[in-house]
Structures are given as structure tokens and as C-alpha cells.
């Protein structure tokens, strides 16, 4: 399954955010993914991910059927915080798709009820070596209060750029 299959968008106006603009919410999402990979075989809990129903309706239904929280109506204030701004309409699932596009992780979505396209899905992720390296850097920076997420992303990008 390709990462684009995750998006069941009614609203496709959200752009793909380049890694140089990622901020606190991308970092938090990657660290959440890492924790789920370590402790839960990579199975994400939909209700722990921000979800714009106009973009990821199937996954919102997954959170609703979990029964642990009532889904929130999307507000722009829930949009992903970037390095310098917020990306209107962008949610944690968009962050996940961008991470897959950057080669940091792979994922698959399994229908909870095959044949019922809007009955929720279970998303299973796996970090790549690059994703695990970036998660380790972010976690170390947060533990030691060394720098904010943007600085950690910059450090990670610089170490992967080819020498000029």
C-alpha cells in the first residue's frame, strides 16, 4: 500500500510540508510513532492522532469506534505547528504521510471491517533506520533540554546532505 492511500481526502488543499519546515508537531508525531513501534508492534491508536475528517475520514471513524474519546469537530487551531507558523487543515496523519515520503517510516492500513470503507482502519507503522536515528536525536534533545525540534531537524538534515 502506498502512503497516499491513507488519505481519503474531501479536502486536498493541504500541501506537503518539506522537512526543513517541520516543527514541534512533526517531532511529537515521530516520537509517538517510535513509542508505538517499541511497545505495541507499531499499531497506532487513532484516537491519539489529531484528525481532520475532511482529509482522513476513515481514521476519524477509527478513533470514534475505539470508544475512549468523543471525536472533536476540526478547528484550524488544531492544525500542525511548523517551525514558523501553522499549516491550516494539516493533521497528524499528514505528518505521518510526509515522514513516509521522507523515508523515515513505512505504514500499512488494515480495514477493521473489510468491505465497509468508512468503518475505521488500523494503521501499523515501522521506522526505517533513518527514522529511528532521527527519533533518537529528537528524544535525546528533549531529555537533555538541548535544543528545540527545529534545531534537531536541522542537525539531522545537515548530517545527511552530500559533501559539496
Contacts (Cβ under 8 Å, ≥6 apart) of 92: 25, 29, 49, 50, 51, 80
Residue with cell 526543513: 20
Domain spans of the chain? 3-160
Confidence of residue 33 (pLDDT cuts 50, 70, 90): very high
What is the DSSP-derived secondary structure letter of residue 16?
A: P
Q: Band the pLDDT of 109: cuts 50, 70, 90.
A: confident
Long-range CB pairs of 70-75 (<8 Å, 24+ gap) are none
Give 28 or 146, the one with higher predicted confidence. Answer: 28
1-29 pLDDT, tens per residue?
334 445 444 455 667 899 889 988 999 99
Q: What is the dihedral of CA 76, 135, 152, 23, to 10 degrees?
A: 0
- Is the whole-model pTM more than 0.85? no
Q: pLDDT averaged over the chain?
A: 79
Amino acid at each position: 500500500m502506498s502512503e497516499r492511500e491513507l488519505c481519503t481526502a474531501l479536502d486536498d488543499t493541504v500541501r506537503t510540508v518539506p522537512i526543513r519546515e517541520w516543527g514541534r508537531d512533526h517531532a511529537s508525531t515521530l516520537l509517538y510513532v517510535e513509542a508505538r513501534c517499541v511497545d505495541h508492534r507499531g499499531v497506532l491508536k487513532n484516537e491519539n492522532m489529531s484528525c481532520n475528517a475532511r482529509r482522513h475520514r476513515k481514521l476519524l471513524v477509527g478513533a470514534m469506534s475505539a470508544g475512549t474519546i468523543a471525536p472533536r469537530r476540526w478547528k484550524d487551531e488544531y492544525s500542525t505547528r511548523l517551525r514558523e507558523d501553522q499549516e491550516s487543515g494539516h493533521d497528524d496523519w499528514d505528518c505521518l504521510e510526509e515522514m513516509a515520503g521522507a523515508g523515515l517510516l513505512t505504514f500499512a492500513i488494515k480495514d477493521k471491517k473489510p468491505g465497509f470503507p468508512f468503518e475505521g482502519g488500523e494503521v501499523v507503522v515501522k521506522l526505517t533506520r533513518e527514522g529511528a536515528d532521527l527519533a533518537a536525536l529528537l528524544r535525546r534533545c528533549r531529555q537533555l533540554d538541548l535544543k528545540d525540534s527545529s534545531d534537531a531537524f536541522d542537525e539531522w538534515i545537515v548530517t545527511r546532505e552530500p559533501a559539496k
